[in-house]
Structure 1
Amino acid sequence: MKIFSLLLLLLSLSSLAHSLTSPSDLSALKSFKSAIKPSSIPPWSCLASWNFSVDPCALPRRTSFSCGLLCNPAATRITQLTLDPAGYSGTLSPLLSRLTQLTVLDLADNSFSGLIPSAISSLSNLQILILRSNSFTGAIPPSISNLKSLESLDLSHNSLAGNLPKSLVFLSALRRLDLSFNRLTGSIPKLPPNLLELALKRNSLSGYLEKSSFLESTQLEVIELSENSLAGTSPAWFFLLPSVQQINLANNSLTRVEISPAAATGSDLVAVDLGFNRIEGNVPVNFASYPALSALSLRYNRLRGTIPLEFSQMKTMKRLYLDGNFLTGKPPAEFFFGGDPVSGSLGDNCLQGCPQSSHLCAPSQKPNAVCKEAYGSGRGKGKPMT
């Protein structure tokens, strides 16, 4: 009987030892939930199961703390806070900073609002921070640079404003940065050195593409800068970044593009989108020197002249969009009669002899009157009207 009682006592102590969440973590969780509007917590959601009469890290979990967080193997510290997209609304409690062992904070696809608290910068072990698709406002806290372990930062689809913090460059572990669909302004600062993916789509960024911003980001593979207000020239060095594979600069205010064939033979560049800008001059023939390029869009710019024959000789080219310009002459026959036809569009230009039966020639070419006006003798060197 004594042995049986002793076993029960040992089991009880063992259970307590493995289900005692750190008091600081417990207070942080309580503060986090109390900052969320109760009316926005559905009865079936993760937060609805957070019942603080039970220890958050206790195992096995049944009806309390059934989802939304993970604890370390010792069952004393919270390591992940990942909420379901249940439409939670409210603000973020500054006491989140007490979750010092947190490696993942993911609150995506909810309705959190207010400022991103600078206290988040105290989460020194954080590797993934995802606040995508909420209603956060204000500036990105410059102190976010204190997150030295951060590998992925996604603040996209919010209402963040102000300039990009110059302190971003100090996020030396960062591999993925997505700040798309916000209201950010100003120019692009110097970027983190180990970045692989950069997404800043649909903001209000302005200024020029400066080499100093990208100089140390030698591992960049994907650059998404579309739907901003970037101006000036898209420089040759930009397309020769050592690891770049995809570049999207569509829907900006660029007026010129420089492409150098030098060193392009070793490039991994696969896709380039420069559509819907204000680029003038001839179609940049040097794109043909990029050995892996398979998708190119220069649609709806102010390009003139003929389509380079070299484009039709590219074995890698699969998608080519040159529609919406003022291109003249006859398109290369290889586009229509080759063994591996190209998809895309050459429509809405001033081309002659573009077969109407080909999908490449849709939509139809500009009216002759528009083309004559664009290339009128009084405009000098055939420059289209702008």
Structure 2
Amino acid sequence: MTNHSPCNFLPYHLSPNYSISKKREENQSCKTKAYHVINMPPTPSHELTRYSCVLTTTMRKLSSCPPLLLLLHLLLLSTEAESNTFPGDIAALKSVVAALDPASIPPGSCLASWDFNLDPCLSAFGPYFTCGLRCDATSSDATGLNFSRVTDISLDSVGYSGPLSLSIWSLPFLQSLDISNNRLYGPIPSSPPPLLRRISLSRNSLSGPIPSFPNSPSLEELYLDGNRLSGPFISPSFPSLRRLDLQSNNLSGSLPDLRLLSNLNFLDASDNSFFGPFPSASLPSSLFELSMRNNHLTGNLPGQALASLPTLQVLDLSHNALSGPVPAAAFNHTTLEQLSLAGNAFEWVEEPAEGGTGSIMVALDLERRWLASPTIACFVARSICSSALAWSRSRRLFVGTLTP
């Protein structure tokens, strides 16, 4: 076509579900041309043509294009914004799959749908790459070309078996990784990408020490529970970490100093082999929940240790070897709601000030032999809570549930 009209049309690629038919009416001006978008069966994209209204630089000529064409122009430009996956990200995804036992990738699973003959990010959530990854970031290379970047890997729990490929950490835009409830084995690679905010490797068969994960300023949630991780736990440096789950591993030694984790709210180190005194000097004051159930803690539970955790709501130290008194601070704490100390060797219960009337505790789990303790009876009777108690007579535990 010639350029005599302010509204010319140039060929573009259009999505497979649409084509444009043009009807020229008697009036040949740009304002009176009618264009219709019609549905048609899917057709290979290279066989389709799209047209974009080429506007002149003046506002006067811009207004000469019909509103329908302007809307269509924006639609076509938005499809142009789609970009291919960065080649390095594709190579990393291929390595993740190649490290797994092919027999552990069942039909219908996320990884079974990954066909690298197609572009991963452009194909995500379609017939191929139906699940398992998201691409919510873009980057440009030196030539100005835009590429989609992998930001999220979340695989289904179908029993994928094999080592966790080191290449997974070569995805620099990765923000979330979840491969929980599978059969991954071997060590956890160190040096994850700096943008990573969530790692969930729960309930696999990973072994070896927990890496220190240097240069992880964005990491907020780390779930390593239900593996075979062993050795001493080296103090991590995660300034943004809020949740740390180490339950059910083979970790040993004393709990390291975690006070640098100034944003940590949740810590579960239950069902390991940590030993030594209660690590009161190693815990951040930001904790809401702390569980070290079923370890080998010994010595007293200092009242000052509880006072140094002013926001603590849940404390589970059951099934250790703690001894001495149950501190009065447990019944004077103004935020503690649930306390479990059963399965230890405590010898008596300290009298809380004013009978613990300032407590908001709703669940108390102690040895049954403290059932007749005057201190406990006083605490229950004089508490701001009622004395609606739930007793477990089938066990050697006293479980008191105090209902406001």
Partners of 2:83 and 2:384 in 1: CA distance: 59
Give the 5 Å matches for 1:344-363. 344-345=391-392
Amino acid at match of 2:272: N
**Letter in structure 1 aligned against 2:133:** L
Q: Which amino acid aligns with 2:324?
A: R
| Equivalent in the alignment of 2:223 | 154
CA contact (8 A) 2:273 2:296 kept: yes
Aligned to 1:83: 155
Residue 54 of structure 2 is matched in structure 1 by none
Once residues 316 and 137 of structure 1 are traced to their aligned partners in structure 2, the CA distance between those partners, rounded to angstroms, is 48
Cα distance between partner residues in 2 of 1:268 and 1:315: 14
Partner of residue 203, structure 2: 133
Q: CA deviation at 1:310?
A: 1.3
> Which structure shows the bigger proportion of residues in strand conformation?
2
2:365 corresponds, among 274, 297, 310, to: 297
Mapped pair 1:285 → 2:346: no
Q: Could you tell me which residue of structure 1 aligns to residue 11 of structure 2? A: 6
CA contact (8 A) 1:87 1:109 kept: yes
Contact 1:19 1:59 in 2 (8 A): no
Runs of 4 or more, structure 1, over 3 Å off, are 1-5, 9-17, 303-307, 314-318, 345-349
Q: Establish whether residue 102 from structure 1 lines up as the match of residue 174 from structure 2.
A: yes
Between the aligned partners of 1:345 and 1:314, the Cα distance in structure 2 is 22
Percent identity, aligned pairs only, is 35
Contact 1:247 1:272 in 2 (8 A): yes
Name the amino acid aligned to 2:115: N
What value does the CA root-mean-square deviation take over the aligned residues?
Answer: 2.9
Comparing 144-153 with 175-184, greater Cα deviation is found at 144-153
Contact 1:294–1:316 under 8 Å retained in 2: no
Pick aligned residue for 1:253 from 295, 307, 321: 321
Give SS of 2:159's match.
coil
| 8 Å Cα contact 1:115-1:139 kept in structure 2 | yes
Residue 124 of structure 1: which of 168, 179, 194 is its match? 194
Letter in 2 for 1:183: N
What does the per-residue CA deviation read over 1:256-299, in whole Å, with 9 as the maximum and x for residues that have no partner? 2352459x75620111100001112x233328425111211122
Uncovered stretches (5+) of structure 2, i.e. residues with no partner: 3-7, 14-48, 52-75, 139-146
The alpha-carbon distance between structure 1 residues 117 and 211, as it changes in their structure 2 partners (threshold 3 A), is: same
- Deviations, residues 329-358 of structure 1 (Å, cap 9, x unaligned): xxxxxxxxxxx5322247889xxxxxxxxx
1:35 has 2:105 as partner: no
Alignment of 1:122-271 (within 5 A): 122-142=192-212, 144-166=213-235, 168=236, 170-191=237-258, 192-214=261-283, 217-240=284-307, 241-261=309-329, 267-271=334-338
Q: Rate the CA distance shift 1:260–1:71 in 2: closer, same or farther, 3 A.
A: same
Larger radius of gyration: 2
Judging changes above 3 Å, is the alpha-carbon distance between structure 1 residues 109 and 304 closer, same or farther for their aligned structure 2 residues?
A: closer
Indicate the structure with greater helix content: 1
SS at match of 1:146: coil
1:69 aligned partner: 133
Task: Give 3-state SS (helix, strand or coil) of 2:343's partner.
Answer: coil
SS in 1 for 2:378: helix
Corresponding letter in the other structure for 1:7 = Y
Alpha-carbon distance, 1:176 to partner: 0.4
Structure 2: how far apart are the matches of 1:13 and 1:37?
A: 43
In 2, Cα distance between the equivalents of 1:285 and 1:163? 37
Instruction: Work out which of the residue numbers 171, 174, 184 in structure 2 matches 1:112.
Output: 184
User: Alpha-carbon deviations, 1:12-46, whole Å to 9, x = none?
Assistant: 99867623111111110000000011000011100
Alpha-carbon offset, residue 180 of structure 1: 0.2
